[in-house]
Amino acid sequence: MTEYVLSPAPQASVAVANSDARFAVRRIFCVGRNYAAHAREMGHDPDRDPPFFFTKPADAVVDDNSTIPYPAQTANFHFEAELVVAIGTGGRNIAEADSLSHVWGYAIGNDLTRRDLQGAARDMGRPWDWGKAFDRSAPCGPVHTVAKVGHPSKGSISLTVNDEVKQDADLNELIWSIPEVISILSHSMELQPGDLIYSGTPAGVGPLKSGDVCKVSIVGLGTLTTTIAAPLG
């Protein structure tokens, strides 16, 4: 057995609906600009340029009903409601027609963003990591199995802050569908069991502050609740 000089990190994981077992998270991929109205609000043409991706560390995941501190070094901390795809079977160069057979289940995600740091990085041609891939930046609700929920492709995706609706869209507004996203991603990276794909957010993104309660709902998948606490000292 391999000996390590430091104890290996705990396995990052998210809950599974109606189960005590958890879904071990390998990597987190995120799609940028996948709803036309959100692309427009971020100052881009919502054409069908190829989708682009960024990543977050696996241990950025946060369970449903968590309270997280307002993150460091931002004054513009944003919510982003997203459908999350949980990969069960890995693969390279997956054909679009085969894509959905690689999915284990679906969850609700909140792609938390330090928008000011993301914008500054974009303007300077620097990586997005400091805006996107920070600690506790990936709340994720329980994963629902394909057997239970099928493959959601239409229906409501919405987000509230303190019960006020901020995002309200339909999954059928995705520019790149889930099968397309899986296929395209797999032509660039070999997908592995445990990978999560945050599929992009609709229009209406905006700020969170300490004390806010943010709820993301997707038809058939329930609600993901995240509460924002004071910054860490």
Residues that bind Mn ion (CB under 5 A): 80, 111, 201
Distance CA 96, CA 184 (A): 8
Closest approach, Cβ 233 to Mn ion, in A, equals 29
Closest approach, Cβ 54 to Mn ion, in A, equals 8
Q: Which residue is nearest to Mn ion (CB)?
A: 111
Reduced to 3 states (helix: H, G, I; strand: E, B; else coil), residue 106 is strand
Quick one: 16 or 166, whose CB is closer to Mn ion?
Answer: 166
Closest approach, Cβ 231 to Mn ion, in A, equals 22
Quick one: 98 or 168, whose CB is closer to Mn ion?
Answer: 168
Closest approach, Cβ 202 to Mn ion, in A, equals 10
Closest approach, Cβ 95 to Mn ion, in A, equals 26
Closest approach, Cβ 175 to Mn ion, in A, equals 13
* CA-based nearest residue to 27, from 201, 159, 188: 188
Reduced to 3 states (helix: H, G, I; strand: E, B; else coil), residue 230 is coil
* 132, 111 contact by CB (below 8 A): yes
Quick one: 15 or 81, whose CB is closer to Mn ion?
Answer: 81
How many CB atoms lie under 10 A from the CB of residue 90? 16
Closest approach, Cβ 201 to Mn ion, in A, equals 4
Quick one: 64 or 80, whose CB is closer to Mn ion?
Answer: 80
Quick one: 16 or 184, whose CB is closer to Mn ion?
Answer: 184
DSSP string, 2-38: ---SSPPPPPPEEEBTT-SSEEE---EEEESS-BHHH
* CA-based nearest residue to 92, from 190, 230, 213: 190
Quick one: 91 or 139, whose CB is closer to Mn ion?
Answer: 139
Host H or E run for residue 227: strand 222-229
Quick one: 186 or 201, whose CB is closer to Mn ion?
Answer: 201
* Beta strand spans in 60-212 (E): 61-62, 66-69, 77-79, 81-87, 103-110, 113-114, 138-139, 144-145, 156-161, 164-170, 196-198, 206-207
